[in-house]
Structure 1
Amino acid sequence: MDRDNQTRVTEFLLLGLSGQSEQEEVLSGLFLWMYLVTIIGNFLIILAITCDSHLHTPMYFFLATLSCVDICSSSVTIPKMLVNHRLGSRSISYVECMTQIYFFITFTNMDGFLLSVMAYDRYVAICSPLHYTMIMRPKLCVLLVAVSWVITNLHALLHILLMVQLTFCSNNTLHHFFCDPSPILTLSCSDTFINNLVVFTVGGLIFLTPFTCITVSYAYIFSKVLKFPSIQGIRKALSTCGSHLTEVSFFCGAILGVYMYPSSSYSVQDTVATVIFTVVTPLVNPFIYSLRNRDMRRALRKLILRFRIRIPQS
């Protein structure tokens, strides 16, 4: 078919997760609640780390950055869904969709790179504690985050440059609540071989790089910890890694479940996995790190107490 004779798509229709108005009403209310908890929880983490001088360490710098990314990641997808539901609309323009895909890829990949940087931080803290302050200098921490930002933005830009070359014809209906790259590719009437190839090669490399870093870091950590003479020492060392390992399991499991398969095989199970790392993971992060971390609990209590003291005075 001649592309010039095809009707070009200028917008996409987001049918949501169920496609039924009654269920969408319930899901929208649930997503609104989860989004508010995500924003408040992660903002409190950032505020507690900023206000408590005892938390001005590399580990908490990375945690504050992760909370910023989680806020941005949730804000890329959920608000548009809530606005559409409020207005009784299902449409998202082509430009809005491409923009959403760009930032979705950026922040999703940034999560993975930050988790790998945090794994390296834990490796240095446990395996080389005497050299920790010398290795994890502030300049190095900022550099690691900056390099992660550059790589993730370049990766997102590559996908967008390839995607805008595709032609989308009459089919513009998406059974999702946001413009997820994989189901978007299934709507194209162009050849998506190059796009899928980039997903498997470049996307796989972007995923495997932090995953390998995390795996190697924890291999060294566990080999070091098992040499500790006391059970108490082992528990203390592993307690600093528990929150991070929980987050890694959530994130990597969902990513593997969705993006390591061709776009043509995208299914309802993939949508559920997408919801896990776009909505659930940013939501549970503050609880994972605050409930399992004594220093964070102390900082949050101090922060809440400070607000309670100030409120009557105002």
Structure 2
Amino acid sequence: MKNYANLFEYTAQPADSQRILEFESKLGKKLPDDYKMLLSETGGGILNLEKCFLTDISLPDGDTLEVVVEDIFGNGTASNGAHVDLIDYATFLMDEWEIPEEVLLLAASEDGMHQCFVINYGLPDFPEGAVLYVDTDPDGIIMPVAESVDAFLSKLGPYPDQEETVEDAEPDNIGINGVRYGSLSEPLRKAISATPTPGIEKLLKQATELITKDLNPIITENSPESRTFYDVVYWIVQHIEPQHDPETFANGGREGQILTFPELMKNSFIVPGQKYELGYTLASLIMWWDRRVKEGVLKETDNGFILDENYAGSVFDRLRQGEIQN
């Protein structure tokens, strides 16, 4: 395949021959030639909307696989700040998602940990070097989708909602486009990756659309929409670090704390040309927190407050049905 750069909205740092040797040494795997060419030209990165949708792959049960592929792992960070490094990040995700050591994580999907793509090195049921689809759920499957990295990339087509691309959108819609197509901060991406809920990134974007105005997502009041958004965000956060109170969640300051709400939202839901990031008030976060504690669905533990799993499930069900949690 020529012109790998045309696949990406945001590329990482092109990898020279020494860096590729470092990858192979630390990973203990020789990279396929086409993958090395991609890394040397682009360094991997975030795919653009014209080349991110994999479809028409038949599953064993007769269903058709349709997956939005978000990024190709490579060298360092993409130009939008997303972490895509093969050594530092892909290996972390392989451990987090319990992916077999006989493969190498190549690409992540919109569904995070539940759907990804790997290069086969040692699984005996599949050809060496083939790109495999992996569903990491307990009853999930592993199946081949392409004979090589280039063949996999050639199967990628336009995002299904391309009629609403950022380039064609009116300026008044830039807030919504930031939610749908914008990047996410590295802390938020890591927290999403650690969250076992199927389609959690899509659910987060749905909840964020509820609070989005013309220019950006913004919370200025204690509303059902804002509470639904905080519900989804906190469910994601607690899988990395349950919080102890709304003030330190917003402002930091607790010893050993690794996450704050502003750090999660900084550089998230932003597309080129968008001036304003997500805005919120501390009062709205405190009112959400106090309400959920009073309702008994945000419960204190020795490690911090935990949002009840059954309650969170009801929030997700309502979002999937296009409804809002009170």
Structure with the largest fraction of strand: 2
Query: Taking structure 2 as the reference length, what is the TM-score of the superposition?
Result: 0.25
Point out the structure with the larger helix share.
1
Normalised TM-score (structure 1): 0.26
Structure ranking higher on relative contact order (CA contacts 8 Å, 6+ apart): 1
Query: Higher Cα Rg: structure 1 or 2?
Result: 1
